[in-house]
């Protein structure tokens, strides 16, 4: 008999889906020392961050509610007219007095010529009034001479009446009664003629006054027309629209051929000297004083710290200058921290270095170190 074959033990090897030959043992849970170490680091980091925030809150004041500001001068037409020339381009640097645009001077030129013609016409009327005045004076002189003549005749008639009265009375009748009556009538007529001549002389003198008054009216009219001519001459010069200040031109909205009205804005000029208006909370103003140095960062120029000084505080909060200020005299009152605009003047060196790069309206960040010495605030 043959011995049965020996059976050898079979070793089973488990494979994972990835095909590894053996099963990895399970990881051990992290030790408590490592967990406490991580927690300690986080606590220390939080304490450090909180301490730094507290330290900065006690020594620094900053605001992101800050913007670059500057003088923006609107350029407008002073008269109505049609644009014939535009001599500038957008964003161009212009000098004070430089011509921006020109209007058609035809309308103002015609008006000036009309006024000058009216002045010449009135001047001729003045000459005519001078002649009338001379004529009135001659008439007055003649009337005065007639008054003297009438007075002489009246004196003679008076004397004749007195003589006839002496020759004809109750004791003596050397002349006829009719001759005495005629003498008395002649005396009465002579007196009446003197009165009439005097009235005529007064009328002639009044004509002289009227002629002189008419002449003065014409002279006054000439002055009015001369003033109108001066205004018309100014209107002619207004056809040249010039820059009121030096700076950079912007917001140009005028073209050749357009008809503009008086007061219509054609462009704007921004001066190079700008500043920063920082709106600090009212609770931040206690440590701020004029003259303090301020660190300014413009959002458009990241990484560049500009030097500035605190110039002045606004006389009122921004809410007071709003179009519709909040009415706090109501039952539903909620206290809100107000912001006060503060003007920060930039250093001249930074203004020259960044000329043309700082534009009004840019956002900025302003930070003030409250630990400054009094000497640094001067």
Note the pLDDT tens digit of each residue in 116-167: 899 999 888 888 888 888 887 788 788 778 778 777 877 877 877 777 677 7
Return the CATH fold of 60-104+247-324+333-377: Elongation Factor Tu (Ef-tu); domain 3 (2.40.30)
CB neighbourhood size of 50 (10 A): 10
Domain with CATH 1.10.287.620 in the chain: 106-237
* 318: its two tokens: 């921004």
Average pLDDT over the chain, rounded to an integer: 83
Mean local confidence (pLDDT), 91-109: 91
User: Three-state SS across 35-71?
Assistant: HHHHHHHHHHHHHHHHHHHHHHHHHEEEEEEEEEEEE
Percent of the chain with pLDDT over 90: 38
**Is residue 4's pLDDT more than 80?**
no
| pLDDT band of 175, cuts 50, 70, 90 | low
| pLDDT band of 19, cuts 50, 70, 90 | very low
Give the pLDDT score at 193: 76
Q: Tell me the Cα Rg of the chain.
A: 53
Considering only 7-21, 110-124, 145-159, 203-217, which range has the smallest mean pLDDT? 7-21
- Cα–Cα distance measured from residue 70 to residue 247, given in angstroms and rounded to the nearest whole number: 11
What is the CATH code for 106-237? 1.10.287.620
Domain with CATH 2.40.30.170 in the chain: 60-104+247-324+333-377
Mean local confidence (pLDDT), 10-32: 51
pTM over 0.75: no
């Amino acid at each position: 008999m043959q011995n049965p074959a020996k059976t050898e033990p079979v070793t089973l090897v488990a494979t994972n889906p990835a095909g590894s030959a053996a099963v990895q043992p399970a990881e051990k849970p992290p030790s408590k020392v490592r967990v406490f170490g991580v927690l300690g680091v986080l606590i220390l980091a939080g304490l450090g961050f909180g301490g730094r925030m507290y330290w900065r809150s006690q020594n620094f004041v900053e605001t992101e509610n800050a913007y670059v500001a500057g003088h923006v001068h609107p350029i407008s037409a002073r008269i109505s007219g049609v644009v014939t020339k535009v001599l500038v381009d957008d964003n161009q640097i212009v000098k004070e007095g430089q011509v921006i645009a020109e209007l058609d001077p035809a309308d103002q030129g015609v008006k000036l010529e009309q006024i000058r013609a009216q002045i010449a016409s009135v001047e001729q009327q003045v000459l005519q009034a001078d002649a009338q005045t001379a004529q009135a004076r001659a008439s007055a002189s003649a009337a005065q001479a007639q008054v003297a003549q009438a007075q002489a005749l009246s004196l003679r008639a008076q004397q004749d009446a007195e003589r006839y009265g002496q020759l004809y009375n109750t004791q003596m009748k050397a002349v006829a009664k009719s001759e005495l009556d005629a003498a008395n009538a002649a005396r009465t007529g002579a007196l009446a003629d003197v009165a009439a001549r005097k009235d005529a002389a007064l009328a002639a003198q009044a004509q002289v006054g009227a002629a002189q008054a008419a002449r003065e009216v014409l002279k006054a009219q000439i002055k009015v027309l001369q003033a109108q001519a001066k205004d018309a001459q100014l209107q002619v010069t207004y056809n040249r629209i010039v820059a009121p200040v030096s700076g950079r031109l912007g917001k140009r909205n005028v073209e050749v051929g357009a008809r503009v009205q008086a007061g219509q804005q054609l462009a704007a000029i921004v001066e190079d000297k700008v500043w920063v208006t920082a709106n600090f909370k009212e609770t931040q103003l206690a440590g701020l004083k004029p003259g303090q140095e301020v660190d300014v960062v413009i959002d458009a120029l990241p990484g560049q710290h500009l030097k500035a000084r605190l110039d002045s505080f606004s006389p009122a909060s921004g809410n007071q200058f709003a179009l519709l200020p909040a009415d706090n005299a109501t039952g539903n009152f909620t206290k809100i921290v107000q912001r006060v605009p503060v003007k920060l003047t930039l250093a001249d060196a930074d203004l020259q270095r960044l000329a043309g790069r700082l534009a009004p309206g840019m956002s900025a960040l302003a930070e003030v170190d409250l630990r400054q010495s009094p000497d640094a605030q001067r």
